């Protein structure tokens, strides 16, 4: 059963705009936020290549900057049929997509983002995720590959784990639980508001995927320190497409999308690595203090903290779906993915 919602003004406008006939046989409009950046490489590559390889018969149009929908309403826009596809992050609406948020739990045992990516691709086919997204008439089109969450902030630097106590930290969704475990107080604001909030000292630090996101939103310009090895969690964002739009494609078109996705993922890995090469030296050259926690102490903290956090997530969600079975699936697949290596 679909989870229909009251349409926003943006969604209604989108419906009106996209009702016009298009020259191509198939046109998908994709709602995105922010600008073109390292994590949009994959959807941009897909858009470019489907048009090229179908001689323009299949077009994917990317709309950046929340031009057709607020980021938090993207999933509802798909359910309404306002547009065909959208970038969504489960931390933006944890109550709507709690199972998808499970991949973003703090301290899951992923060796690196390639391991996390392999697990995500399998998890997206799990019945729990398929049922959850089915409420919005949606399925996963692409996994949005993103690096680990680290912190950047202003004021007294938390040079050891005990120093986090009492700090105010932007940490949405499941990663807020990890921040609480550190003794800090999480808050949730959209990424575009972080710069001003840190500049005005409304909170002390922000958790974001490292390093490209800090650079994309210029957080380094108002920060004095950053963590380098906290590895709080790995984001679990996706590009969703409406099930109706996917079903309307031919078998050949669906196969073409999957073929291009494989290429797009590799390009996104390269873009993220390039962002680190560019921005980490820039952060250091700008005078920010790099905080590296003692590995043994950090590992001990995660070992002590992870299981209670995961059990809490299971307890909160067990009435909605098979949370324990699904988390065990993630942990098992993480072992397999780590063994496969990068």
pTM, entire model: 0.87
The angle, 0 to 180 degrees and rounded to 10, between the axes of the packed helices 295-317 and 323-340 is 150
Residue 91's pLDDT is 87
Encode pLDDT of 58-94 as tens digits: 999 999 999 999 999 999 999 999 999 999 999 889 8
Encode pLDDT of 264-273 as tens digits: 999 999 999 9
For residues 154 and 223, the answer to whether their CB atoms sit within 8 Å is yes
Residue 224 has pLDDT above 70, yes or no: yes
* Phi, psi of 212, rounded to the nearest 5 degrees: -60, -35
Superfamily of domain covering 9-93+111-145+236-270? Bacterial extracellular solute-binding protein, family 7 (3.40.190.170)
Superfamily of domain covering 149-234+276-340? Bacterial extracellular solute-binding protein, family 7 (3.40.190.170)
142, containing H or E segment: strand 138-143
Q: CA 194 → CA 42, 68, 89, distances in Å?
A: 25, 22, 17
Per-residue pLDDT averaged across 196-206, rounded? 96
| 192: confidence class by pLDDT, cuts 50, 70, 90 | confident
Short-list 175, 10, 160, CA closest to 80: 10
So where are the chain's domains? 9-93+111-145+236-270, 149-234+276-340
Residue 161 per-residue DSSP state: G
Same fold, 9-93+111-145+236-270 and 149-234+276-340: yes
| 22: confidence class by pLDDT, cuts 50, 70, 90 | very low
User: Edge to edge, what strands does the sheet with 26-31 contain?
Assistant: 58-63, 26-31, 85-88, 238-242, 138-143
For residues 182 and 153, the answer to whether their CB atoms sit within 8 Å is no
């Amino acid at each position: 059963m679909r989870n229909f919602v009251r349409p926003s003004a943006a969604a209604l406008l989108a419906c009106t705009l996209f009702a016009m006939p298009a020259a191509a046989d198939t046109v998908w409009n994709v709602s995105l936020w922010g600008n073109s950046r390292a994590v949009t490489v994959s959807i941009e590559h897909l858009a470019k290549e489907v048009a090229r390889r179908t001689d323009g018969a299949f077009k994917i149009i990317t709309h950046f900057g929340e031009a057709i929908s607020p980021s938090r309403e993207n999933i509802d826009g798909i359910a309404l049929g306002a547009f065909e596809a959208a970038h969504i992050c489960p931390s933006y609406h944890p109550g709507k997509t709690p199972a998808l948020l499970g991949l973003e739990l703090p301290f899951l045992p992923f060796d690196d983002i390639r391991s996390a990516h392999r697990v995500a691709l399998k998890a997206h086919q799990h019945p729990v995720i398929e049922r959850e997204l089915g409420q919005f008439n949606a399925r996963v089109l692409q996994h949005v590959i993103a690096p680990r969450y680290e912190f950047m902030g202003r004021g007294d630097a938390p040079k050891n784990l005990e120093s986090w106590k009492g700090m105010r930290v932007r940490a949405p969704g499941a990663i807020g639980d990890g921040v609480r475990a550190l003794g800090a107080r999480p808050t949730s604001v959209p990424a575009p508001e972080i710069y001003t909030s840190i500049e005005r000292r409304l909170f002390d630090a922000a958790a974001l995927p490292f390093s490209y996101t800090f650079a994309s939103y210029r957080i380094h310009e108002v920060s004095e320190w950053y963590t380098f090895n906290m590895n709080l969690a790995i984001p679990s964002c996706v590009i969703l497409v409406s099930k109706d739009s996917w079903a309307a494609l031919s078998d050949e078109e669906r196969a073409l999308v999957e073929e291009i996705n494989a290429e797009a993922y590799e390009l996104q890995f390269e873009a993220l690595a390039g962002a680190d090469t560019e921005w980490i030296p820039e952060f250091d050259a700008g005078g920010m203090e790099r905080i590296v926690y003692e590995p043994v102490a950090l590992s001990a903290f995660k070992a002590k903290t992870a299981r209670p956090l995961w059990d809490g997530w299971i307890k909160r969600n067990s009435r909605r779906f098979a949370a324990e079975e699904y988390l065990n699936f993630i942990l098992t697949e993480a072992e397999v993915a780590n063994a496969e290596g990068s």
